[in-house]
Chain A
Amino acid sequence: MSKVKIKLFANLREIVGVKEEFVEAQSVGEALEKLVEKHSALKDKIFPQGELNKSLNIMLNGKNTDLNTEVREGDEIAIFPPVAGG
């Protein structure tokens, strides 16, 4: 089990009220599940109907990732809606 940081952005951040959370997990998927356990208001956004919301982007240490990827102590996960810069 590793302690990882999950950074939240845009509407996800607003729903939870914090910019980041810390969870213990072995994989990206597990980390997100723990996040949703801590903040149930995120459940519908991240796992609507039990499946990962495909429109969300998930990054691990700044690179796109998937739920199965293992995490290590100190890793940084970011979860956010489609980007909208410019």
Chain B
Amino acid sequence: MKVITVAGYKNSGKTSLIEELVPKLKKIGRVGTVKHIHHEDSGDTARHMKAGADVVIGLGDEMRVMLKSSELREALDILADLGMDFAILEGFKSSDLPKVLLGDADAKEVVAKNLTADEIIKRLDEFPEWETVKSMIRKVKSSPKIGEVGAIGCFIGIVREEGGTVKEMEIEKYDKVAERIMREIEEEVKKEFGVIEVLMHHNSGRLVGGDDIVYIVVASSHRKEMFPALQSAVEKMKERVPIWKKEIRVDGERWV
């Protein structure tokens, strides 16, 4: 991401220049802006947005982020990237995410109805984990032994589109067992290769071409042991974890 800074005193024409620059750069790629806010947002962030910026951040004592997106997945990715341990969603009845339902509305994937806050906290394991590459790296970096780590390797399995032939992928998991076996593999690889941390996360549900399927991260003191540990973790995951993938292709469906 190229960072272009436009500076100058008030009324030197910064916002006007940015209003010109944004649409020109949008022809080449996606554009985000960051406006330094001194007291209140004087309306410049709105001008950035109107000029076509995909993301506008107003940065002062706090950060206000405005995105031209209505994708729940993107919102969750952002929270995960920022290192949140919990994301609480209000609404989204018709999403596929496991939920607590209050009252009698029609909703999909209801875990339970009318739970109290304390009850929800007792049943956290019934709610899904959402990870991104960044959240996995953050997790690794929050390990108590991070001081010894000099190398981090990451494997990402993605949905191979095959030039558009694969439209979607459905991933099915034997949930609790898959999690347990992944934890076992993590411990095995740590012991076998003498690495400091091994973390795995496998997505499930509906994905589209190009989406991330699985993240495997290995942290070690030195790169020498990291590479073989990472490879071993990938192979063990593919051999033992009860997960199945179905390709939804232009020419039909098939279990991989």
Interface residues in chain A, defined as those with a beta carbon under 8 Å from any beta carbon in chain B: 7, 9-11, 13, 57, 59, 62, 78, 80-81, 83-86
Contact = CB atoms under 8 A, between A and B. Distances in A.
A45 to B, nearest CB: 12
B177 interface: yes
B184 to A, nearest CB: 11
Contact of A86 (B177, B214, B255): B214
B238 A85 contact: yes
B177 A10 contact: no
A83 B255 contact: no
Contacts of B174: 7, 9, 59, 78, 80
User: Chain B at the A interface: mostly helix, strand, loop or mixed?
Assistant: mixed
A73 to B, nearest CB: 19
B213 A86 contact: yes
B240 A83 contact: yes
Interface in B187-230: 202, 213-214
B239 A84 contact: no
Contacts of A85: 171, 178, 202, 214, 237-238, 241-245
Interface in B127-141: none
B180 A62 contact: yes
6 contacts: A62-B177, A78-B174, A81-B255, A83-B238, A85-B242, A86-B214
B183 interface: no
Interface of B: 157, 171-172, 174, 176-178, 180, 202, 213-214, 234, 237-246, 255-256
Contacts of B214: 85-86
A7 B255 CA distance: 18
Contacts of A57: 242
Contacts, number: 59
A71 B202 CA distance: 31
Contacts of A11: 255
Contacts of A10: 172, 244, 246, 255
A57 B243 CA distance: 12
B81 to A, nearest CB: 23
A9 B242 contact: yes
B180 A84 contact: no
A80 B177 CA distance: 13
Nearest to A80: B242
- Candidate in A11, A13, A81, A84 with the most chain B CB atoms within 10 angstroms: A84
Contacts of B242: 9, 57, 59, 78, 80, 83, 85
A16 B230 CA distance: 38
Contact of B177 (A13, A78, A81, A84): A78
A9 to B, nearest CB: 6
A78 B173 CA distance: 12
A78 B180 CA distance: 15
Contacts of A7: 174
Contacts of A80: 174, 242, 244
Contacts of B245: 84-85
